[in-house]
Chain A
């Protein structure tokens, strides 16, 4: 297990170094997230819809779609000049490759969230106060589920001609339960309800994370052979 995790971290560190140097997907995802916030803001009628009703949906729609930009890049860097063959021919386990990719994607999504959540708070004048910690926990739990599913489908879609179209088509149906759980839990917090009321949704997110991470790690080796 220690070998699997150390190999996964090696692969994640390589992916993050590449993304840090190129910043192509990260900048695209941040710009997309901020543009989304602005567009929703100007289409919002505050006299008709309370901010606590609107903000959770805005937040999770933005995270879902900006995350897809990073997930598509995940195996894209391996497709260039068949770098994936070098990984697969090495003695690291397939699980390490999947987990390494997932860790890098998680850092990517979390970094986008670190910019988008404060921007949402400022734009929509949200009373963050004592809900910051549970909101971060919900964001992290949801990100784990989205990344597990998205990484698997990124691996499946990367060698197809319609990869950019196929990835959202495959991944979005599986994102639905995670996004519903995250949106509902966020709504409870933003409407001033006690954290315990969001507990059931948070447990649901946790359950999805466990199932998706385990299932996707097991399924990944079956996606890579011709």
Chain B
């Protein structure tokens, strides 16, 4: 007799009533969600809604004011253990302009103590179609190419959780397609992803759960990929019109 038991993937992110204040201003006002390995949460919302703050807390760049957040079972703000499991993509490239793409990605790989650095660096750059320009100074690259290098940099250590803040910023059509394929592959291989974007179609196509954020909270949260894109578009526009 065979038994077919489905084992749910392990929880990578668990956030409960998370708040973060800057002085008297509350950027996060009680956010809760859970994300398992291989899942992708797409977060939409107007500027100032708290999306970037949420990612910065999960990346270990900011401490929570209250509430709890764990990444791979480690409570935030964690130390090097938790930061080593996260890959951060931002609309800021976080690159050094005087260095080449290969040097930037290689520097990141060394910071994360990745094994087999040369191979990983080449693989990351190839994945984003940047291997041919790998030795040109970053300052000589277009904005879109710099963003591709930035994505390669964030992926080089094989993170368990990818935090992507407006990752499509500056990318042309082929760059956007390469990023979407990369994120889909990462999901398939068990990487959890949180993507913050204003691009609803791209976000909804990738996501297994969706949230619209406004005034530091999830105004709507659906832990399912079967969401109605039209209703989300309406909710998103309402959130923007009320100024987050």
Question: Which A residues are within 8 Å of any B CB, using their own CB?
Answer: 7, 10, 14, 17-18, 21-22, 77, 80-83, 85-93, 225-226
Contacts and interface: CB of A to CB of B under 8 A. Distances in A.
Contact of A89 (B83, B95, B96, B107): B83
Given A86-B108, A225-B62, A81 B92 contact: yes
A52 B34 CA distance: 71
Interface stretch (B38-46, B109-117, B127-135, B229-237): B109-117
Interface in B45-99: 59-63, 79-81, 83-84, 86, 88, 90, 92-99
Interface residues of B, number: 30
A10 B103 CA distance: 12
Given A81-B95, A226-B22, A91 B113 contact: yes
Contacts of A83: 94-96
Given A80-B97, A81-B95, A83-B96, A89 B80 contact: no
Contacts of B84: 90-91
Chain B CB within 10 A, most for which of A7, A77, A80, A89: A89
Contacts of B22: 226
B153 interface: yes
B80 A93 contact: yes
Given A14-B107, A89-B59, A22 B98 contact: yes
Given A83-B95, A86-B108, A91-B113, 19 more contacts: A10-B110, A17-B99, A17-B103, A22-B98, A77-B98, A80-B97, A81-B94, A82-B90, A82-B93, A82-B94, A85-B61, A86-B88, A86-B94, A86-B95, A89-B86, A89-B88, A90-B108, A91-B111, A225-B62
Interface SS of A by simple majority: helix
Interface of B: 22, 59-63, 79-81, 83-84, 86, 88, 90, 92-99, 103, 107-108, 110-113, 153
A90 B80 CA distance: 7
B92 A91 contact: no
Closest CB pairs A-B (n = 7): A86-B94, A91-B80, A91-B84, A82-B92, A90-B111, A18-B98, A21-B98
Given A85-B88, A90-B112, A92-B111, A14 B62 contact: no
B67 to A, nearest CB: 17
A105 to B, nearest CB: 17
A18 B96 contact: yes
A17 B107 CA distance: 12
A213 B103 CA distance: 30
A17 B113 CA distance: 20
A87 B83 CA distance: 10
Residue in B22, B103, B107 whose Cβ sees the most chain A Cβ within 10 Å:
B107
B79 to A, nearest CB: 8
B96 A77 contact: yes
Nearest to A92: B111
Contacts of A81: 92-95, 97
A62 to B, nearest CB: 27
B63 A225 contact: yes
Nearest to B22: A226
A93 B81 CA distance: 10
Given A90-B83, A226-B22, A85 B112 contact: no
Contacts of B108: 86, 90
**Which of A7, A77, A80, A225 has its CB near the most chain B CB atoms (within 10 A)?**
A80
A14 B59 contact: no
Contacts of A226: 22, 62
A82 B60 CA distance: 15
A87 to B, nearest CB: 7
B111 A87 contact: yes
A92 B83 CA distance: 9
24 contacts: A10-B107, A14-B107, A17-B103, A21-B98, A81-B93, A81-B95, A82-B90, A82-B92, A82-B93, A82-B94, A85-B61, A85-B88, A85-B90, A86-B95, A88-B60, A88-B61, A89-B60, A89-B83, A89-B88, A90-B111, A91-B81, A92-B80, A93-B79, A225-B62
